[in-house]
Amino acid sequence: MTRRPVSLQKPPNETVTAIFCALTLVHVEQIYLFWRSILQAAQQPDISWDWAYKLRLAVNGSRYKAYAIELDALAQGVMLLETQWHRSWFPARSPLVYLEYLASAPWNRRPIEDPPYLAGVGRTLLLLARQRSVELGYEGRVGLHSLPRTEAFYHRNNMADYGPDAEKDGLVYFEYAAVQR
């Protein structure tokens, strides 16, 4: 995957160019060195996520892809996608990109830092997942199960809410339908 520029907002109104790229060991090390203590202090649910394991999934297999957004060589957000086995809830089990994990750096989260250092990291990752779905021929379909604290984020990003999924411990399932042409 090539590195490509993405635009983000640095409050109050500065646009900066960050880089969207494959997740690397350097990014994972940054998560452990810089993110973890802040996530722990803020009691964030993703404190236990093992990004080294997620990177191994992406490197050692074809169905997972891991990405980062970096600015000034520092990971600002990361995500893990599953690209082969998941299907849309509607319509008729069409293939989709499943967003396994998405995380913004703690300094980019309004509940931790207001205003955040960078605004729009999570939204940009979500849109890049949708773009990846289009590239794979899945017409922009993206699905995910949301942590309870982040459901409002997916509502704000216009994902359809299909309610709690008993098979996923009651986590709410969200999905983007195919892109309208």
CA dist., res. 154 & res. 161, Å (int):
8
DSSP alpha helix (H) spans, the chain: 25-30, 36-41, 51-60, 121-135, 151-156
In a domain, 181, yes or no: no
Q: Is residue 13 part of a domain?
A: yes
The dihedral of CA 26, 28, 33, 35: what is its sign?
Answer: positive
Report pLDDT digits (tens) over 53-88. 999 999 999 999 999 999 999 999 999 999 999 999
Q: How far apart are CA 79 and CA 159, in angstroms?
A: 17
Residue 147 domain-assigned? yes
Three-class SS state of 68: strand
Q: At 1, is the pLDDT very low, low, confident or very high (cuts 50, 70, 90)?
A: low
DSSP 180: P
> Is residue 172 assigned to a domain?
yes
Task: Look at strands 97-104 and 142-146 and give their pairing.
Answer: parallel
pLDDT reported for residue 30? 98
- pLDDT for 14-45, tens place per residue? 999 999 999 999 999 999 999 999 999 999 99
Range of the domain at 23: 4-176
pTM value > 0.85: yes
- Which residues are 20's β-sheet partners? 4, 69
Residue-level pLDDT at 119 = 96
Q: What is the CATH number of the domain that holds 114?
A: 3.40.630.30
> What is the chain's mean pLDDT, rounded?
95
Whether the predicted pLDDT of 141 surpasses 90: yes
